[in-house]
Structure 1
Amino acid sequence: MSDYHQPPLDDQHVVHTAKPSMSPDTDGASNAEPRKLSRRKLLAGLGATGLAATSVMLWNGDNSRSVWADVYTDSSRKKHGVPLPSGCCFLSTISDLRALTAPDPDAVYYVTDPGQEGFFSYDSLDSTSADNTGTVLVSGGGARFKRHLSDVLSASWFGTKGDGVTVNTAAFQAALDAAAGKTLYIPKQHGPFYLTGQLFVASNTTIELESGTIIQAVDTLSRIAPYERLLRLKMVQNVVIRGNGATLRMNKTAYTSSEQAHCVDISGSRNVVIENLNCNDSGGDGFYVGAYEVTAGYGVCRDIILRDCSADNNRRQGLSVISVDVLLVENCRFTNTKGTAPEAGVDLEPNGQNQPLRRIRFKNCLAEGNAGAGFLTALLKPTRLSPLMDVTFEDCTTQSNLYGFSINSAGEGANAPQGEIRLIDCIAEEAQSSGFWDIGNSSDSLRRSYIRCRAINCQTTQEPDSIYGFSASFVVTCATSKPRVSIGNVEMIDCQSIDTRAAPLVKHGFALKKRSAQKISDVRFFNCTTIGGNQNTYLIDSVAEQVTAVNHPQPRHAVAASASVSYNWLGAAVTNQPALGNITLTLPVAKAEIRYTFVVDAAFQMKLQASGSGGLLTPDGPKSFIASSLAGSTITLRGRADLKWEIVSAVGDWLTDSGV
């Protein structure tokens, strides 16, 4: 579209109506025979709202205002009106202008079609612009009429109809194309919803939807490559979408195959903000952030914000994040995903080695009622050569999902991605299985940190001691389908397992369990506790090594009779307080960095027996056992990689009664 400026208008009072004459002129073409219309009749014809809605685009004295503000928020303009433009003005319709063959280059034409009102002028210098119904009208004789524009366009200008039947793809796309560099306002439909096919948004565009607007996809979006999505931001930048509670949706029942029919697809784009928009009932994801059909070398998504948005009843995910550098998801809801795996509220899952998950932050988000995990991070494809991962979930909550938070499948060796995933002040409530499920992540892959997280009344439907949930709130384990030599590199700090039900279902707060031949290594617990339900704090597999559990103050584990020392006692001080006589505690095979503390509270002998001869290293040499009967005596033992126990600290005499 060529640059165009309003022609000079001289007479402030002469207004005409333009109607094509049925009589041919000298060259045989029909032409308009203008009829003067008084200023009073024009005002009456426009109405105060129509005048306010269009005059702001003609006058240059108030460029700071938008159409949306003038039409919907400025009651003073509706009450007092605005000045009429100077010069000739003709009342017309779109069909009248398209039939006009000899327009007046010095006239202004006011289109009166409902929802499409506005001032147009003939641009004699333009012979190429296409008719888009909204901002450019082309007559049968090739004349181009240009709408007088401010910084805001209305989708209704382009002939959109929200009757639930009319397919508006061409009208909406024309509106989006014309709005590049400006703001497109989409008014609420008069019928049930707008119906449309796939739409593309241009760079430097702001879209503002009126509250209550519903835009629904046709039932025929392509489910085979190249896939179609409802709204696409493909390799664009500087896009803002203000939903004001509006909804993009699909007829989910029509999409029973494939998983790619998304409501909003953001691919290879940067500087995108989407606020207060609902994306529901899709055949795939509500929101998708990735690199679909992105030209090689164009770059990954960067600087994306989703704020106060929601995604409900989608088929695959509420939100899928495939690749992005800088993503903020704040105050968003992801609910009731069901249809095809993974069925998560949110899924972070790169499709390849070079797709980053960097500087990602979820803040105060909710995932509820999803058939899969609430928040899922799946790391099957990244490798050690992938960009360092940096993901944070903060103040996020899950309710009534299969799992609350799940991180899975980080490989090992050359396939071990690096970086850190942090969960801070997150809550998992009433998960069918575990609240926090860390599965199949190798101990040489990225660190997972759980800080002040709480699992509340989880394990609602799983069988007791299931092979994946272990009746525990926090689980670190492996999958048979993704074998690992060693799983670990996890820390849990100030985390709690809570079961307040009359019939508790959680048996263990924190479980470290192998699935076949894995080792468990490099896991750290600090001040992790349980509340209610008579839970064991830990369920730790005997293969575990380099596992530390520290609590301040240190809890006590009471032993009344001789027994084998369990890995589940880590983090507690083992006491003989209830014993009524001497007891022998048989130590397990020593593993690197495994620590136990023993306290003699009752005045009976506590004997610590190694599993093999010389398994206890003391200042007096290797011993097979050590013992003390002096009340107040304590000792802390640490396992070594050579399968020996060494004394870290001791109070009292543990060596007098000792044996080789």
Structure 2
Amino acid sequence: MTDFRQPPLDDPHDVFTAQPSVSSGTGDTSDAGPRKLSRRKLLAGLGATGLAATSVMLWNGDGSRSVLADVYNDPSRKIKPVPRHAAGCCFLTTIGDLRALATPDPDIVYYVTDPGQEGFFSYDPLDTASTDNTGTILVSGGGARFKRHLSDMLSASWFGTKGDGVTANTAAFQAALNAAAGKTLYIPKQTGPFYLTGQLFVSSNTTIVLESGTIIQALDTLSRTAPYERLLRLKMVENVVIRGNGATLRMNKAVYTSGEQAHCVDISGSRNVVIENLNCNDSGGDGFYVGVYEVTPGHGPCRDIILRDCAADNNRRQGLSVISVDGLLVENCRFTNTNGTAPESGVDVEPNGQSEPLRRIRFVNCLSQGNAGQGFLTALLKPTRLSPLIDITFEGCTTRGNLYGFVINSAEEGVKAPQGEIRMIDCTAEEAQSSGFWDISNSSDSLRRTYVRCRAINCQTTMAPDSVYGFSASFVVTCSTSRPRVSVGNVEMIDCQSIDTRATALVKHGFALKKRSAQKIGDVRFFNCTTIGGNQNTYLIDSVAERVAAVHIPQPRHEVAASAALTFNWLEAAITNQPALGNITLTLPVAKAEIRYTFIVDAAFQMKLQAAGSGDLLTPDGPKSYIASSIPGSTITLRGRADLKWEIVSAVGDWLTDSGV
């Protein structure tokens, strides 16, 4: 392996003797010590790999530390010894001296020694147009262009960034980002409290690597009126990677007392973007935003975006807003302590129009905690039947200590009803102030919502008992008065659990289907949904509910000892007279489509089933008002019909002898 610390030069003594700095006068140093090494000989000695490594300062010198570590991790920013490559083999100079050089030599390599900006430059006599960006191109007063020898990595410090918490670095950072197109930009940790900058734009085909501990803070003057400004913008770009290594982008949130659009990271109309291990905190809007802000019409939505191991804390509007995307993976991310302006959610998935897609979206193993609003909110006010099919999955996600846990709301009906599916799989809502899972104002003919193995644990922490929206329940399907629907529903819950382990239980019902005004509730299916702890009813089901099914294996049993009026809360249960000490009458509610009950005679007393209206029980002997049996072992299952009649699905034993109109 080539030893880049001592390249094979013609005269080995040349490598040990430094040349004096270039003068701003004539530039004639012909009498000043050892001979100069030409650019050609230097390149031949270093080789392409050696020069590239030296230019980006990643090689090791004589000591045990790398130049990268010495330059960027030294809080004192002391001038380090000149690398052995530069000593005697080229002119040593500064950026100021090079810009003042009157007679540049295209055959000479110049080594800039400014701390944090070190590197090799050569004069390019064929370039008369490039702009001085401090980092990779320097322009002298006479118009000479000096080009830095580059590998595929640049350092932001080359462009004059200062992390003193006072200097505005907008121009320096933007110059670095522009020069990094097609390359990797390294941002070293600041020497002071943080970097300060205005709005920045990232180019396509760029990788950004931030050193651990780096803090970049926005100026307090980002525009809060259109056109809005954000700290870091990925606008209509592609193939961008940001590796945060735990670095933080943030704002001075205290000054953002109005507006909601001052985001930390804005990804709009971009594709193939990966952001890893980056914190976005204290913004005047969202930590992360994925949408189409200022995107040229026809350009298209975001596509194939990944947020992994990221965090958003104490943002004003949302930790993450998702407006428009086809392909989004949010994995192992945390969204915490959002507060300031509605909806104050950890995550808000909410398109601004019917043409904006919500497709191939997956949240995996994410946490939303301590937000003033919802943990994970999906708001569907704008999509219609003409919108792209909605496809969203939350898998293994957890909410803790939010107003609500997981919320899906406002899917309209008829021609405005969006289609598709939202799935929540193995998700957990803990200690929500109200319900853990809240499905509100989503019409029965809109997209399906499926909950699989979801758990609500110790929710309803602060809401009034039986509140008009929470109903003291863990899982709720309901409607709001502000967004009424003819019918809400199209929900399926599989193996879900309502758990209350507190000494004084606050959850009364596991699963609630309740109207708010004149709505109907339909097309809801429960499979093996259960409650644990407290004294919870499994179901709280409104009398308007229809086409509601529940399957339990084994089937739950309700024991009745005396005559009673039945409600839908005992949906699909096996109702037995086991504890009865005499004949009992059970009054059926008005029948609704697909509502079912099973009755079992265990005690040797008559169980009479009384319909709400005359002739509402359809039997082989004609319409009846009641049927009854007193023979132990007799069973019967009744199913409601759309015409408000009860029909017999199956029967064992004689239920018709003691019947009548």
Give distance in 2, aligned partners of 1:475 and 1:187.
49
Matched, 1:107 2:103: no
Aligned residues of 1:88 and 1:106 also touching (Cα < 8 A): no
Matching of residue 33 in structure 1 with residue 29 in structure 2: yes
Aligned residue type for 1:70? L
When normalised by structure 2's length, the TM-score is 0.92
> Which runs of 5 or more structure 2 residues have no equivalent in the other structure?
1-8, 68-81
The residue number in structure 1 matching 2:224 is 223
- The CA deviation at 1:235 is 0.1
Deviations 1:266-320 (A, max 9, x none): 0000000000000000000000000000000001000000000000000000000
Q: Which amino acid aligns with 2:364?
A: K
Counterpart CA distance in 2 for 1:302 and 1:342 is 25
For structure 1, list consecutive stretches of 5 or more residues without a partner in the other structure: 1-8, 23-29, 43-53
SS at match of 1:491: strand
Specify the alignment match of 2:20 in structure 1.
Answer: 17
Secondary structure (helix, strand or coil) at the match of 1:60 reads helix
* In the alignment, structure 1 residue 599 sits paired with structure 2 residue 600: yes
**Residue 3 of structure 2: aligned partner:** none
Structure 1 counterpart SS, 2:633: coil
TM superposition shift of 1:423: 0.2
Residues 1:431 and 1:32: Cα distance change in structure 2 (over 3 Å): farther
1:318-337 alignment runs, 5 A limit:
318-337=319-338
| Aligned partners of 1:18 and 1:34 also within 8 Å | no
Alpha-carbon distance in 2 for matches of 1:603, 1:527:
31
1:181–1:204 CA contact under 8 A, matched in 2 = yes
Match of 1:512 in 2: 513
Q: Which residue does the alignment assign to 1:378?
A: 379
The SS at the match of 2:19 is strand
User: For residues 646 and 371 of structure 1, what CA distance do their matches in structure 2 show?
Assistant: 49
Shift of 1:57: 13
How far does the alpha carbon of each residue in 1:314-349 deviate from its partner, in whole angstroms, 9 at most, with x for none?
A: 000000000000000000000000000000000000
Give the corresponding residue for 1:191: 192
Superposed CA deviations along residues 29-70 of structure 1, whole A, max 9, x for unmatched, are x4353665669x99xxxxxxxxxxx99997413599697792
Q: Secondary structure at the match of 2:295?
A: coil
**1:571 deviation in Å?**
2.8
Q: Which residue of 2 aligns with 1:501?
A: 502
| Cα distance in 1 between the residues matched to 2:411 and 2:209 | 41
Q: Is the 8 A contact 2:477 2:512 kept in 1?
A: yes
User: What is the rounded CA distance, in whole Å, between the counterparts of 1:110 and 1:201 in structure 2?
Assistant: 29
Change (3 A) 1:605 1:406: same
Specify the alignment match of 1:61 in structure 2. Answer: 49
8 Å CA contact retained: 1:476, 1:488: yes
Tell me how far apart the structure 2 counterparts of residues 230 and 246 of structure 1 sit (CA, whole Å). Answer: 14
> Residue type matched to 2:548 in 1?
V
1:571-582 to structure 2, matched below 5 A, reads 571-582=572-583
Contact 2:19 2:88 in 1 (8 A): no
Which residue of 1 is the match for residue 288 of structure 2? 287
1:395–1:162 distance in 2 versus 1, CA, 3 Å: same
Cα offset, 1:377, TM superposition: 0.2
Aligned pair 1:523/2:511, yes or no? no
Residue pair 2:51, 2:149 contacting (<8 A) in 1 also = no
Distance 2:237 2:527 in 1: 46
> 1:18 offset after TM fit, Å?
3.3
**Higher mean C-alpha deviation, range 152-161 or range 574-583:** 574-583
Confirm or deny: 8 A CA contact 1:259 1:315 kept in the other structure: yes
Question: 2:57 and 2:425 mapped to 1: Cα distance?
Answer: 41
- For residue 58 of structure 2, give the secondary structure of its aligned residue in structure 1: helix
Listed one character per residue, the Cα deviations across residues 420-451 of structure 1 (whole Å, up to 9, x for unaligned) are 00000000000000000000000000000010
Distance 1:56 1:82, change over 3 A: farther
User: Shift in Å at residue 557 of structure 1?
Assistant: 1.0
Match of 2:73 in 1: none
Task: Give the distance between the partners of 1:368 and 1:310, measured in 2 at CA.
Answer: 11
Cα distance in 2 between the residues matched to 1:558 and 1:458: 28
Kept after mapping to 1: 8 A contact 2:55/2:119: no
Residue in 2 aligned with 1:146? 147
Which secondary structure does the structure 2 equivalent of 1:61 belong to? helix
Query: Structure 1 residues 540 and 107 mapped into 2: Cα distance closer, same or farther (>3 Å)?
Result: same
Count of aligned positions? 632
Between the aligned partners of 2:369 and 2:62, the Cα distance in structure 1 is: 40
State the partner residue of 1:51: none
Against the structure 1 CA distance between its residues 183 and 492, is the aligned structure 2 distance closer, same or farther, given a 3 Å change threshold? same
Give, in whole Å, the separation in 1 of the partners of 2:600 and 2:33: 103
Q: 1:246 to 1:34 in 2, by over 3 A?
A: farther
When residues 295 and 568 of structure 1 are mapped into structure 2, their CA distance, relative to the original with a 3 A threshold, is same
Q: Which one-letter code corresponds to 1:19 in the other structure?
A: V
Q: 1:230 to 1:71 in 2, by over 3 A?
A: farther
Q: Which moved more, 1:549-558 or 1:339-348?
A: 549-558
Deviations 1:506-526 (A, max 9, x none): 000000000000000100011
The CA deviation string for residues 163-189 of structure 1, in whole angstroms up to 9 with x for no partner, is 000000000000000000000000000
Deviation at 1:632, TM superposition (A): 1.6
Do structure 1's residue 458 and structure 2's residue 459 form an aligned pair? yes
- Change in Cα spacing, 1:515 to 1:432, as seen in structure 2 (3 Å) is same
Shift of 1:85: 7.2
CA contact under 8 A between 2:86 and 2:111: conserved in structure 1? no
Q: Tell me the secondary structure at the aligned position of residue 358 of structure 1.
A: strand
The aligned amino acid for 1:236 is: V
The match for 2:58 is 70
Aligned to 2:257: 256
Query: Hey, what does 1:49 align to over in structure 2?
Result: none
Q: C-alpha displacement at 1:622, in angstroms? A: 1.3
Query: 1:19 Cα shift?
Result: 2.9
Are residues 594 and 72 of structure 1, via their aligned partners in 2, closer, same or farther at CA, if it must alter by over 3 Å?
farther
Deviation at 1:11, TM superposition (A): 7.0
Alignment of 1:577-588 (within 5 A): 577-588=578-589
Q: How does 1:518-597 map to 2 (within 5 A)?
A: 518-597=519-598
Q: Deviations over 1:120-174 (max 9, x none)?
A: 0000100110000000000001110000000000000000000000000000000
Residue 179 of structure 1: aligned partner: 180
The residue that corresponds to 2:95 in the other structure is 94
Q: In structure 1, what residue type is equivalent to 2:49? A: G
More moved, 54-63 vs 542-551: 54-63
Q: Answer yes or no: is 1:361 the counterpart of 2:362.
A: yes
Instruction: Name the SS of the counterpart of 2:254 in structure 1.
Output: helix
Separation of aligned partners in 2, 1:429 and 1:525: 21
Contact 2:264–2:288 (CA under 8 A) maintained in structure 1: yes
Question: How far is the alpha carbon of 1:72 from its aligned partner?
Answer: 8.8
**Cα 1:398–1:582, aligned 2, differ >3 Å: closer, same or farther?**
same
Q: 1:351 to 1:32 in 2, by over 3 A?
A: farther
Report the 3-state secondary structure (helix = DSSP H, G, I; strand = E; otherwise coil) of the residue aligned with 1:184.
strand
Partner SS state of residue 98, structure 1: helix
- Call closer, same or farther: CA 1:35–1:412 in 2, change over 3 Å: farther
Kindly provide the amino acid, as one letter, of the partner of residue 61 in structure 1.
T
What secondary structure does 1:392 align onto?
strand
The CA deviation at 1:620 is 1.6
Matched to 1:60, the amino acid is A
Is the Cα contact below 8 Å between 1:626 and 1:654 reproduced in 2?
A: yes
2:321 and 2:350 in contact (8 A); partners too: yes
Q: Say whether 1:315 aligns with 2:316.
A: yes
Could you tell me how far apart the structure 2 residues matched to 1:75 and 1:633 are?
92
SS where residue 172 of structure 2 aligns?
helix
The answer to whether the 8 A contact 1:538-1:568 is kept is yes
Q: Tell me the SS of whatever aligns to 2:158.
A: helix
Aligned-pair distance for 1:88? Answer: 4.8
Asked if structure 1 preserves the Cα contact closer than 8 Å seen for 2:43 and 2:51, the reply is no
